[in-house]
């Protein structure tokens, strides 16, 4: 420092730079294992409820696991899938460096899709975990090392009787008429498997009918046959006669034979999985009648 005309002037300065060295925490394997078991339990809740917030605190924002699991949970949220975690076993814990650990696990769970199909999974995984203190941890990365999948076939069609199937079809078609005539798809949503192709096709079909102010009146409905398709699905043949009227005053009457592929859950809940066939057997068209002025 120099003095110039009574003023101080700094001409040189130096500071000591101190490096902060994080201590190498002494951890117990039991604490790290318990942390991962709790993460796995909360991960099941996150998947089934559709909220990433259940597991966010377990993950390091700078790690790959954070963004990967956030995107996955969000992608399946609201789709009606269910995860049942059954086994979580820590196989080994290896220290890689200061406060960083590799943990290998063996895990089993059963995945039930929104269509009721079940798959058993056996997985070997590797977790990269950072110790933040002697008892707190953060997950950086999760890798699948090996996966075995096995479809679980549970015979469910015996859970419903033929009269229950007929009642399901009759209730569906009655509500379908209301939906078509202006009530909207929400009136029949419960009869379909959420998000599958038939669900989406029916959403569009009813929306189009509502937009064009089309109306239909059912005149005849009969269940002609119920057949076993496989252990979880029934094929139901139905004949209907419907009279349609359109905004321009025209209309038609159709006699239709249609097949419904019905999925039956283990609880006897029925849902329309697909409409694989629809044949128009007879059709009569009516032109619009114009009012003639005097």
Q: What is the pLDDT of residue 181?
A: 98
Percent of residues in the chain assigned helix, strand, coil, to nearest 5: 30, 45, 30
Inform me whether the pLDDT recorded for 16 exceeds 60. no
Cβ–Cβ < 8 Å for 73, 81? no
Are 75 and 93 in contact by the 8 Å Cβ rule? The answer is no
> Does residue 264 sit within a domain?
yes
Say if residue 114 is in the same domain as residue 217: no
Q: Give the integer Cα–Cα distance in Å for 288 and 276.
A: 33
In terms of domains, do 59 and 145 share one? yes
Look at residue 207 and give its three-state secondary structure: helix
- Residues 183, 74, single domain; the answer is no
Q: Sorting pLDDT into bands at 50, 70 and 90, what band is 21?
A: low
Q: Would residue 292 count as lying in a domain?
A: no
Model confidence pLDDT, tens digit, residues 126-154: 999 999 999 999 999 999 999 999 998 88
Cβ burial of 278 (10 Å; 0-12, 13-18, 19+) is exposed
d(CA 190, CA 177): 15
**Is the per-residue pLDDT at 104 higher than 90?**
yes
**Residue-range definition of the domain harbouring residue 210:** 157-286
CA distances to 68, 128, 272 from 87, rounded to whole Å, are: 22, 20, 33
pLDDT (tens digit per residue) in 275-284: 999 999 999 9
**Per-residue tokens: 56:** 């966010």
Distance CA(206)–CA(62), nearest Å, equals 46
Q: Which tens digits make up the pLDDT trace of 250-267?
A: 999 999 999 999 999 988
Contact 129, 137 (CB under 8 A): yes
More confident residue, 64 or 22: 64
168 shares a domain with 113: no
In a domain, 236, yes or no: yes
Q: Check which CATH number belongs to the domain holding 266 and give it.
A: 3.10.450.50
pTM: 0.57
User: Residue 181 CB: number of other CB atoms within 10 A?
Assistant: 18
- Same domain for 138 and 221? no
Average of per-residue pLDDT across 64-90: 95
Q: Which residues are bridge partners to 262 per DSSP? A: 234, 272
Last residue of a domain, one of 152, 187, 214: 152
Query: Across the chain, what does the average pLDDT equal?
Result: 91
Check whether 6 has a pLDDT greater than 80: no
Domains in the chain, number:
2
Closest CA to 246 of 185, 195, 180: 180
Region 12-27 average pLDDT: 66
The number of beta carbons lying within 10 Å of the beta carbon of residue 7 is: 7
């Amino acid at each position: 420092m120099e003095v110039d005309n009574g003023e101080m002037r700094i001409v040189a300065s130096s500071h000591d730079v101190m490096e902060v060295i994080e201590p190498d925490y002494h951890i117990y394997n039991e604490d790290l294992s318990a942390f991962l078991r709790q993460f796995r339990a909360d991960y099941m809740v996150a998947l089934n409820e559709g909220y990433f917030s259940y597991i966010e605190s377990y993950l390091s924002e700078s790690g790959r696991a954070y963004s990967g699991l956030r995107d996955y949970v969000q992608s399946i949220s609201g789709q009606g899938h269910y995860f049942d975690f059954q086994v979580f076993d820590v196989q080994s814990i290896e220290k890689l460096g200061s406060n960083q650990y590799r943990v290998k696990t063996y895990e089993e769970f059963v995945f039930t899709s929104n269509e009721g199909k079940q798959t058993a999974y056996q997985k070997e995984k590797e977790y990269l975990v950072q110790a933040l203190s002697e008892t707190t941890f953060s997950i950086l990365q999760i890798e699948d090392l090996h996966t075995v999948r096995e479809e679980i076939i549970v015979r469910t069609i015996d859970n419903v009787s033929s009269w229950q199937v007929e009642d399901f079809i009759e209730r569906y078609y009655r509500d379908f008429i209301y939906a078509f005539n202006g009530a909207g798809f929400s009136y029949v949503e419960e009869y379909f498997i959420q998000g599958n192709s038939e669900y989406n096709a029916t959403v569009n079909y009813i929306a189009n009918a509502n937009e064009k102010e089309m109306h239909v009146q059912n005149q005849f409905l009969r269940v002609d046959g119920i057949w076993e398709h496989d252990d979880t699905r029934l094929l139901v043949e139905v004949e209907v006669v419907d009279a349609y009227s359109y905004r321009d005053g025209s209309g038609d009457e159709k006699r239709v034979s249609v097949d419904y592929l019905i999925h039956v859950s283990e609880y006897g809940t029925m849902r329309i999985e697909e409409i694989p066939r629809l044949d128009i057997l007879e059709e009569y068209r009516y032109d619009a009648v114009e009012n003639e002025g005097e």
